[in-house]
């Protein structure tokens, strides 16, 4: 079998186009504020991409860049200002933060109604309790890709590799909500290859370059590779050995060009949802 390639860039572009059309029809522009602290170079790229995509889709978007030695209390005060600013619908504080700032304190300070990253414990709880809320962007993007790939989810055996708060856990919740039979695997899982081979849907989010080998993939599986890693040669690769996996999978996304663009598009989708909910138009 040679896999169908899931083009995350194209799906993300379509989603951004749909969002732009919905925003053009609104009597207001949803407001997004991205806060960056310090000069982490990877964060710089992410923040620029988010800002550019938001502006292009018609959002009122701005980045607030604070120095690396910003005190936690000052960042918390800024978050409070954004919480009460009626023009702001979505707040995103780019991680990682410098060591003097505790990320969990900052996340907890964001108004859950404006928490477009979906990391606030209230939103994590709502997802687990099957209540409406803001869902983390990366797993939300994966669900779009699975639907786009025509994956049959109800009743399917889904394996999520990784149990982080921002990808693995919410991913498992979303797959469960879509009626998959979900296994969450992690660094303490016994016989990872066997767990993966059973998967009809495999989502890899471990952060280990090409750890998932071709022979770990079941024939006809739909594989979503969330990982973004540099391999020994400095090349950007996913968590899955793409060429070998594509021999067995029914569908798989490349890295780059898979989940990354979807994460940004879903951030915009969350901001629009937050704006509509806050303004009572939901």
Active site residues: 50, 94, 117
Nearer to ligand NDP, 166 or 250 (CB): 166
Angle of helix 8-24 versus helix 259-278 axis, rounded to 10: 20
CB of 138 to ligand NDP, least distance (A): 4
Q: Is 234 annotated as a binding residue?
A: no
Decide if 34 contacts 278 (C-beta within 8 A).
no
Between strands 201-204 and 157-161, the pairing is parallel
Which lies closer to ligand NDP via its Cβ, residue 51 or residue 74? 51
Region for residue 103 given its phi and psi (left: phi exceeds 0; alpha: psi -120 to 50; beta: otherwise): alpha
228 is in an annotated binding site: yes
Q: How far apart are CA 8 and CA 24, in angstroms?
A: 24
Using alpha carbons, list the distances in angstroms from residue 249 to 136, 150, 196, 197: 26, 13, 12, 11
Residue (14 or 230) nearer to ligand NDP, CB: 230
For residues 63 and 35, give the distance between their C-alpha atoms in angstroms, rounded to a whole number: 6
Is 260 flagged in the annotation as binding?
Answer: no
Enumerate binding residues for ligand NDP (CB under 6 A): 138, 161-164, 166-168, 186-188, 192, 205-208, 211, 226-229, 259-260, 263
Q: How far is the CB of 194 from ligand NDP (least distance, A)?
A: 13
Is 198 annotated among the ligand-binding residues?
A: no
Question: Considering the complex, what minimum distance in angstroms separates the CB of residue 26 from ligand NDP?
Answer: 27
Binding-site sequence positions for NADP(+)? 162-164, 228
């Amino acid at each position: 079998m040679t896999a169908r390639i899931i083009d995350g860039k194209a799906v993300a572009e379509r989603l951004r186009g749909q969002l732009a059309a919905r925003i053009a029809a609104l009597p207001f522009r949803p407001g997004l504020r991205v806060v960056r602290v310090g000069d982490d170079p990877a964060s710089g790229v992410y923040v620029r991409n988010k800002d550019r995509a938001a502006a292009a889709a018609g959002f009122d978007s701005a980045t607030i860049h604070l120095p690396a030695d910003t005190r936690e209390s000052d960042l918390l005060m800024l978050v409070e200002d954004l919480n009460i600013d009626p023009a702001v619908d979505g707040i995103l504080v780019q991680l990682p933060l410098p060591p003097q700032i505790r990320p969990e304190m900052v996340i907890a300070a964001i108004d859950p109604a404006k928490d477009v990253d979906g990391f606030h414990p209230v939103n994590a709880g709502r997802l687990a309790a099957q209540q409406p809320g803001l869902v983390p962007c990366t797993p939300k993007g994966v669900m779009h890709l699975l639907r786009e790939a025509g994956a049959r989810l109800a009743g399917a055996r889904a394996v999520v590799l990784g149990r982080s708060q921002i990808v693995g856990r919410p991913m498992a919740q979303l797959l469960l909500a879509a009626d998959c039979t979900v296994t969450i695997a992690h660094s303490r899982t016994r016989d990872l290859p066997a767990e993966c081979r059973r998967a009809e849907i495999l989502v890899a989010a471990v952060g280990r370059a090409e750890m998932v080998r071709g022979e770990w993939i079941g024939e006809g599986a739909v594989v979503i590779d969330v990982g973004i890693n540099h391999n020994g040669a400095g090349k950007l690769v996913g968590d899955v050995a793409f060429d070998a996996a594509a021999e067995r999978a029914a569908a798989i996304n490349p890295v780059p060009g898979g989940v990354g663009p979807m994460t940004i598009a879903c951030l915009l989708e969350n901001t629009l949802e937050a704006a509509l909910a806050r303004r009572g138009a939901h």
